A and B are shown apart, each in its own frame.
Chain A
Amino acid sequence: MSLSIRFRHAFTDLPLDIALDAPTPGTTVLFGRSGSGKSTIIAAVAGLLRPADCRIVIDDVTLVDTATGQFMPPEHRRIGLVFQDSRLFPHMTVATNLRYGLRRAPNGPIGFDDVVDLLGIAGLLDRRPHSLSGGEKSRVAIGRALLSQPRLLCMDEPLASLDAQHKAEIVPYLGRLKHALQLPILYVTHALDEVVRLADTLVLIRAGRVLAAGPLEAIVARGDLPLAARDDAAAVLSARVVAHEPERQLTELRAGGRSLLVPLLDNPPGSAVRVRIPAREVILAAAAPQGISVHNVIAGTVHGIVQDPGRHAAMVEIALDDAGLLARVTPDAVTRLGLAAGTPVLALVKSMAVEILPD
């Protein structure tokens, strides 16, 4: 099953030409700067915008196809939309807000009590929106959209108006939601931390066009995309907990066909985690070093090298079995090690440098 979006729309300041496909269920994150056209894509999916030339299909349901003249009005689309500014109805209690979509939707799998539990809003049901904090408003807005039994949940920067503390309060709920409900999610953001936490499919949008799209791990492992030019460029890998070694205070993970030792985790063996390995923390070696503190010596192949003249650096893409790493090193290091596409190389990763993302 998949989500397919294609449209062209000419704004005066920004012509949009979007084509993207993403598997469902799963979380597709649209990532790009403010004003790059991300929100317009959401508006077109929800039907609040009618582009001149447009075709949007989700799981074999055609929402709009200008070629055949099909246009499903927004109220029939069942696209749960979470707006940046929540848009709760001020004249209704939280409970009435939550039931607004539920009462108008066909019977569906998402129950009132489940959503209230999942989002931790049981204590808010009798309150009115004006008495809620920003984080509480966001959670209620997400709950209201979920209860309308959507075929796709669209979130337009739901956390952008929140401070770091409230944001930290919401992100775990979003993670739970993703796993508990098996619902396709289309998520717009310009915050990278939300991307690495939530995305299965990552779509980079720049100036009204799709710059790159694909599985998160594949996109972040590319050295030629703007993500790799950031100071905090990093590879993200899906990993599985293999075993714990409490006496060494280490946990063994398996990622990209390699084993990876990290500081001891609580997650049970067999569970999935996401790890983030910052490019500037990765050391490259031609031969395995002796007498060194680093636990992880990962054998890979150089896939490509992207020069970064601004930083006097080079970004080395390292291919593993079904994943990739990035290493930011000096051009001199590249020369000394004789690295080129296809060269075998060892990537040295400190256990302490591996960031575990809750999955």
Chain B
Amino acid sequence: MQWNSLILSLDFLSPQEWEAVRLTLIVAARSVAMALPFALLCAWVLARCRFTGRAVLDVLVHLPAVLPPVVVGWLLLLLFGLHGPIGAWLMSWFGIRLVFTSTGASLACAVMSFPMMVRTMRLSLDAVDPGLEQAARTLGAGPIDRLLSVTLPLAIPGILAATIAGFALSLGEFGAVITFAANIPGQTQTLPLAIYSALETPGGEATAARLSLVSVALAFAGLFASEFASRRLRVVLGR
């Protein structure tokens, strides 16, 4: 195999392999879009609010990180399957089916990357000095105003880090996706699933190697983007 041609030519991947890469990026992007608002809300509630049941919420948020991914996938099947309480409701009201679809794959990735995203954002929200929020308050800023003008801008590095971490985790999620969304080429077969299938197929090592290389490249790109962005932000925020 020629490294030059591998890197330079666009056709070093077969159309099916390109499809897996494209699908993976779309699934990961949607996963982040689904998880981000809820993760931010959870992080904010855990960082700033004191209420009974806070410990329960904390545990619930972290559950996907400690459960086997297959169990998470199966629980999603129970909840969002066509006969599950939420799945049946989504189907009858909106005609949305999640099982065995790429949206379902995104949901599985979103749930799996949720704990990491919440954790990262919570750390950055904790690092925002409550004294600055008090100062904003005495200057006439209400709760939403304070959140938008002081808290979130100061927590942006952490929010960005969480977004990139969530995206990267979604690129690699295997167990929950294959359990909930199955392994359908072109629909739910993301990179790790495609690599797994290639390895199961006689003579598929070359495909597995090419796709693994793409995975490594994506991981590098993600980490560099995150490092670059956080440096730029540190300059802007004056840290």
Decide whether A and B assemble into one complex: yes
Contact A128 B238, beta carbon cutoff 8 Å = yes
Q: Is B140 an interface residue (CB 8 A)?
A: yes
Interface string of B130-163 (1 = CB under 8 A from A): 0110111111111001000110011000000000
Q: Is A295 an interface residue (CB 8 A)?
A: no
- Chain A residues with CB under 8 Å of B50's CB are none
Bound: A197/B146 CA distance, A: 36
Bound: A80/B142 CA distance, A: 15
Bound: A159/B72 CA distance, A: 57
Q: Is A74 an interface residue (CB 8 A)?
A: yes
Bound: A48/B132 CA distance, A: 12
- Chain A residues with CB under 8 Å of B138's CB are 46-48, 74-75, 77, 79-81, 145, 148
Q: Is A33 an interface residue (CB 8 A)?
A: no
CB proximity of B93 to chain A, nearest CB, Å? 40
Q: Is A129 an interface residue (CB 8 A)?
A: yes
With A90-B154, A104-B141 as given contacts, are A85 and B131 in contact (CB-CB < 8 Å)?
Answer: yes
With A81-B135, A87-B132 as given contacts, are A75 and B141 in contact (CB-CB < 8 Å)?
Answer: yes
Chain A: residues with Cβ within 8 Å of the partner, total of 28
Q: Is A89 an interface residue (CB 8 A)?
A: yes
Q: Is B1 an interface residue (CB 8 A)?
A: no
Interface string of A133-160 (1 = CB under 8 A from B): 0000000000011001000000000000
Contact A91 B236, beta carbon cutoff 8 Å = yes
- Chain A residues with CB under 8 Å of B239's CB are 90, 130
- Chain A residues with CB under 8 Å of B137's CB are 48, 74-75
Partner of B142, one of A75, A91, A129, A148: A75
Q: Is A105 an interface residue (CB 8 A)?
A: yes
Q: Which of B89-138 contact A (CB under 8 A)?
A: 129, 131-132, 134-138
Interface residues on B, range: 20 to 34
Q: Is A101 an interface residue (CB 8 A)?
A: yes
- Chain B residues with CB under 8 Å of A101's CB are 139-140
Contact B135 A91, beta carbon cutoff 8 Å = no
With A46-B138, A104-B141 as given contacts, are A90 and B237 in contact (CB-CB < 8 Å)?
Answer: yes
Contact B134 A48, beta carbon cutoff 8 Å = yes
- Chain B residues with CB under 8 Å of A89's CB are 132, 135-136, 150
Partner of A91, one of B140, B145, B238: B238
Contact A90 B139, beta carbon cutoff 8 Å = no
Contact B154 A75, beta carbon cutoff 8 Å = no
Instruction: Look across to chain B and name the residue whose beta carbon is closest to the beta carbon of A141.
Output: B135
Q: Is A31 an interface residue (CB 8 A)?
A: no
- Chain B residues with CB under 8 Å of A131's CB are 238
Bound: A167/B150 CA distance, A: 29
CB proximity of A95 to chain B, nearest CB, Å? 14
Bound: A105/B138 CA distance, A: 11
Partner of B135, one of A47, A76, A87, A104: A87
Interface string of A169-200 (1 = CB under 8 A from B): 00000000000000000000000000000000
Partner of A105, one of B129, B134, B140, B236: B140
- Chain A residues with CB under 8 Å of B132's CB are 87, 89-90
Bound: A78/B237 CA distance, A: 28
Q: Is A100 an interface residue (CB 8 A)?
A: yes
Bound: A170/B119 CA distance, A: 43
Bound: A131/B137 CA distance, A: 24
Partner of A83, one of B135, B150, B236: B135
Instruction: Look across to chain B and name the residue whose beta carbon is closest to the beta carbon of A90.
Output: B238
- Chain A residues with CB under 8 Å of B131's CB are 83, 85, 87
- Chain A residues with CB under 8 Å of B141's CB are 75, 100, 104
Bound: A75/B145 CA distance, A: 11
Interface centre among A76, A83, A90, A148 (most CB of B within 10 A): A90
- Chain B residues with CB under 8 Å of A48's CB are 134, 137-138
Give 25 CB contacts A-B under 8 Å.
A48-B134, A48-B137, A48-B138, A74-B138, A75-B138, A75-B139, A75-B140, A83-B131, A85-B131, A87-B129, A87-B131, A87-B132, A87-B134, A89-B135, A90-B237, A90-B238, A91-B237, A100-B139, A100-B149, A104-B141, A130-B238, A130-B239, A144-B139, A145-B139, A148-B139
Known pairs A87-B129, A145-B139; list 9 more (Cβ under 8 Å).
A74-B137, A75-B138, A76-B140, A81-B138, A90-B238, A90-B239, A104-B145, A105-B140, A128-B238
B residues at A contact (CB < 8 Å):
129, 131-132, 134-142, 145, 149-150, 153-154, 236-239
A residues at B contact (CB < 8 Å):
46-48, 74-81, 83, 85, 87, 89-91, 100-101, 104-105, 128-131, 144-145, 148
